Structure 1
Amino acid sequence: MNQFTKLIAAQLNLKEQAVENTLALLEEGCTIPFISRYRKEKTGNMDEVNIEAIAQANEKLSEMAKRKETILKTIEEQGKLSDELKKRIEQCWDATELEDIYLPYKPKRRTRAQIAREAGLEPLAQLLLFQRERNPEQAARKFVGDKVKDVEAALQGAMDIIAETVSENEQSRNQIRGEFRRGAIITSKVVAKKKDEEEAQRFSDYFDFSEPLKKCSSHRLLAMRRGEAAGFLRVSISADDEQCQDKLKRHYVHGFGECQTLVGEAVDDAFKRLLKPSIETEFAALSKQKADEEAIVVFAENLRQLLLAAPLGQKRVMAVDPGFANGCKTCCLDAQGNLIHHEIVYPHPPRNRKNEATAAIQRMVKMYQVEAMAVGNGTASRETSDWLHSIDFVHPVDIYVVSEDGASIYSASKIARDEFPDEDVTVRGAVSIGRRLMDPLAELVKIDPKSIGVGQYQHDVDQTQLKKSLDTV
């Protein structure tokens, strides 16, 4: 049995046997469409959505299993791997919890706490944490020596150790996570010296913006992150600092006195210097991941709708790739989508040969018995569409505006070169526009899904996940 079967079945609320059989089929190299269509008896009639969810869950758990191996090896090399710790790591399947368990053992650069430990101040830190010492300064004098110059340095070192201990404690981290989950605010500010740049105006909605993180939609978050990456915005995520500090102090500070004051200061330092930046980074990554997932679902659905757009069918089509200076590239296709004629007309400025262009279009429509026109939606699309609608033809001709996203990618691809070895890229691009009207699915599958233009922020999301999702569609 696959080691993840029980976990996946519980996670997705599916029968173990069906999950086990599906994982076996996936390992054999069967595709999701094949399994959902031809192996229903093994999967218990599962649809492609469940099968894909099983495949994704299996991939995540496999990655986590590799991470656990690395963690166990690192802790073992330090000689700190107890049976209890090993068992806890092996039984943990939550990525955040796993990293929290590992944090105290994670190799890190020399921190202030590490330097204080090397100076032998760990016992003093423990003494302060117990909060039973009435005169901490007197206790600190015993630790002054070659590595610790005075009482103040000894107390500061002990507080650095306490701060790191607090910041690496699982319960502390979960308390702060809880505060962020409930009340985190995402804030975006413009970088002052770039405010007046023309490029920065694209992000003007986010020059002074804030809202609760849990209400921030994926497109707004991706827009802010794009502005941040471009260097025009500063984006931060924060919770109520005072509330976070009070919560931690209630856990660590007991009663009143000098020790309690020092521990309180160490807790505040732990939050401001270590915990807050760490949890903010974590929530920034989580919110970006969530926004990516939401956006990718939309992109996948957009692609699905594009591919499943109703075909015009077997009709003779004229494809027009509009343009101003370079003219409108026109191609005539027969009912099977074969190229039978192409030429360029110049109805728009700067050449303004409108009458000549109109006569050429009328001639082609009559000669090749054109039944419909496909006009690309790029530059000069509206002007070209208006002009074509104004022409009188000998028989009715339907005119459609077609998305030309990815047509240029296709025109320079190997598939296009193989199909039209003797034509240049402009002709191949126009043919693609015409064929998209006749049979969108047959034409669009030739193009990398990301080039079809499936969403506004498709270049800002996780590219590996996007490619995987679009390829699956």
Structure 2
Amino acid sequence: EEEAAKYRDYFDFSEALKRCTSHRLLAIRRAESEGLLKVSINPDDEACIERLERQFVRGNNECSRQVGEATTDAYKRLLKPSIETEFAAQSKEKADDEAIRVFTENLRQLLLAPPLGQKRVLAIDPGFRTGCKVVCLDAQGNLLHNENIYPHPPINKTGEAASKLRKMIEAYQIEVISIGNGTASRETEDFINSQSFDRQIPVFVVSEQGASIYSASKIARDEFPDYDVTVRGAVSIGRRLMDPLAELVKIDPKSIGVGQYQHDVDQTKLKKALDQTVENCVNLVGVNLNTASSHLLTSISGLGPQLAQNIVNYRAENGAFSSRKELMKVPRMGAKAFEQCAGFLRIPGAKNPLDNTAVHPESYHIVEQMAKDLKCTIDELIADKELRRKINISAYITPTVGLPTLQDILQELDKPGRDPRKAIKVFEFDKNVRTIADLREGMILPGIVGNITNFGAFVDIGIKENGLVHLSQLAERFISDPTEVVSIHQHVMVRVMNVDYDRKRIQLSMIGVQQD
């Protein structure tokens, strides 16, 4: 019983299978596979035997009694186990599909988290005994410098740490500080905020889920062969702030920590769904052809690992790309691959302004014709909304270009190369809450949504344990899906409803709490 304490809710549990939710079924199945619970799926025996007898037993004599016994035996020995096996497989598949749907939606929101953009970042991977690993990155995310500071117990070199920080901020013209949200995160944030710098430097706390997986991976070793895992982890924390999408695509999605029971579901199905989600997100945002890593380029339609690496190699040998057409000079870049990938690759500051938009090169002639008809340049057409209003869109319909394509083109000209992701905001936890022991019922606290499941949202309130806002506590109205109300990384205000100190469970509510 002690070993199975986390499954206590299911010790004596029964429920109609059709009403058993995906997360409950997967939890019960996991406990069963760990040998902690016995699980069975049972139809109503009496009702089943009665239905069979109605069909097969005729009359009331010795012969019919024999048939009755045979029917009962057939049900108990053959039919019932078959029903159990069939429904176990069917319900598991349904639960898997639901868990995969939740995971892919969480992953999509995480990958499309607001980016900070190209800024010079000082990133800190915090720690107590081992100190805080500090790295300085330039605006492109390249590593400029790394060292350790020890502002916390047991070493307590606070003065030295403060002095080193100021020197680094000055020497590398740091614009922003990024802190990982693991051990010693709050203490490190307080230490940074207690320092006075010569200018205002925003401080962001970044999720470090999966950073250790990345730092030990082949990708990280290839990027930083001369540095150890702690430096690579700190670099990842800094880059996640600059561009979460470009950094998170390097990590196996299962390690990012936003799924539910992801290790219990059909792994082939899960991988396919997650890979598809990564590709969709990268294609939606588009990538900068001159700064993207080969790993990020691999997620673009039409580019495999080899072709992505060829692009990076070509860039290293010949300098930055000045136009999309230049892609055709990359070894093994064929017309088909170019057709598939070109619209998703952006070149800021290119000679042709359309190279920094989602307009595909095969449609450039349409925009050029529109500009010619309005007697202006493409730059003027993109800059002037009034000019675009004069376009008679139906005049450009041809047998190969339909109205939807033309509408997409005009929509893109309205926001050329604009990132569809939102702007990033600074966030602060409650200064008085450090551990679960500081929590009291009724407290209202700021938090960040860290994970969304079928049954609610887990919120980081600045302590080791995340609190759960149950589905019923997300809003005053009835909701069937938490994503109607919350999204990953959303800043929320929550009220503490209940704290189970033994099981380290925190129940939170958003009902009746004023949201900013």
Instruction: Give the structure-2-normalised TM-score.
Output: 0.52
Looking at structure 1, the residues matched to 170 and 8 of structure 2 have their Cα atoms a distance apart, in angstroms, of 52
| Residue 270 (structure 1) aligned with residue 74 (structure 2) | yes
1:382 is displaced (CA, Å) by 2.9
**Alignment partner, residue 104 of structure 1:** none
| Residue 196 (structure 1) aligned with residue 11 (structure 2) | no
Once the two structures are superposed, residues 224-268 of structure 1 have per-residue CA deviations (whole angstroms, 9 ceiling, x without a partner) of: 111111111112211211111111111111121111111111111
Looking at structure 1, the residues matched to 29 and 152 of structure 2 have their Cα atoms a distance apart, in angstroms, of 40
Looking at structure 2, the residues matched to 215 and 259 of structure 1 have their Cα atoms a distance apart, in angstroms, of 41
**Alignment partner, residue 369 of structure 1:** 173
**Alignment partner, residue 54 of structure 2:** 250
Size of the aligned set, in residue pairs, is 277
The AA in structure 1 aligned to 2:156 is N
| Residue 457 (structure 1) aligned with residue 457 (structure 2) | no
1:360 is displaced (CA, Å) by 2.4
- Contact (CA 8 Å) 1:337, 1:435: kept in 2 or not? yes
Could you list the runs of 5+ residues in structure 2 that have no partner in the other structure?
Answer: 278-516
Looking at structure 2, the residues matched to 251 and 347 of structure 1 have their Cα atoms a distance apart, in angstroms, of 80
The AA in structure 2 aligned to 1:301 is E
Out of 440-449 and 349-358, give the one that drifted further.
Answer: 349-358
**Alignment partner, residue 212 of structure 1:** 16
- Contact (CA 8 Å) 1:315, 1:335: kept in 2 or not? yes
RMSD of aligned alpha carbons: 1.6
Looking at structure 2, the residues matched to 383 and 254 of structure 1 have their Cα atoms a distance apart, in angstroms, of 80
1:459 is displaced (CA, Å) by 0.9
> Which residue of 202, 207, 210 maps to 1:403?
207
Counterparts of residues 67-466 of structure 1 (less than 5 Å):
195-197=1-3, 200-466=4-270
Higher helix proportion: 1
**Which structure: larger Rg?**
1
- Contact (CA 8 Å) 1:375, 1:400: kept in 2 or not? yes
- Contact (CA 8 Å) 1:300, 1:454: kept in 2 or not? no
Out of 443-452 and 288-297, give the one that drifted further.
Answer: 443-452
Counterparts of residues 33-72 of structure 1 (less than 5 Å):
none
Gap change, CA 1:348 and 1:209, over 3 Å in 2: farther
Looking at structure 2, the residues matched to 345 and 216 of structure 1 have their Cα atoms a distance apart, in angstroms, of 51
1:331 is displaced (CA, Å) by 0.7
- Contact (CA 8 Å) 2:99, 2:260: kept in 1 or not? no
Gap change, CA 1:340 and 1:251, over 3 Å in 2: same
1:329 is displaced (CA, Å) by 1.0
1:386 is displaced (CA, Å) by 3.2
The AA in structure 2 aligned to 1:329 is K
**Alignment partner, residue 73 of structure 1:** none
1:359 is displaced (CA, Å) by 2.9
Out of 359-368 and 262-271, give the one that drifted further.
Answer: 359-368
Looking at structure 1, the residues matched to 135 and 111 of structure 2 have their Cα atoms a distance apart, in angstroms, of 23
Once the two structures are superposed, residues 104-160 of structure 1 have per-residue CA deviations (whole angstroms, 9 ceiling, x without a partner) of: xxxxxxxxxxxxxxxxxxxxxxxxxxxxxxxxxxxxxxxxxxxxxxxxxxxxxxxxx
Looking at structure 2, the residues matched to 211 and 407 of structure 1 have their Cα atoms a distance apart, in angstroms, of 40
Instruction: Give the structure-1-normalised TM-score.
Output: 0.56
Gap change, CA 1:426 and 1:226, over 3 Å in 2: same
Could you list the runs of 5+ residues in structure 1 that have no partner in the other structure?
Answer: 1-194
Looking at structure 1, the residues matched to 191 and 9 of structure 2 have their Cα atoms a distance apart, in angstroms, of 37
Using the aligned pairs only, state the percent identity.
Answer: 69
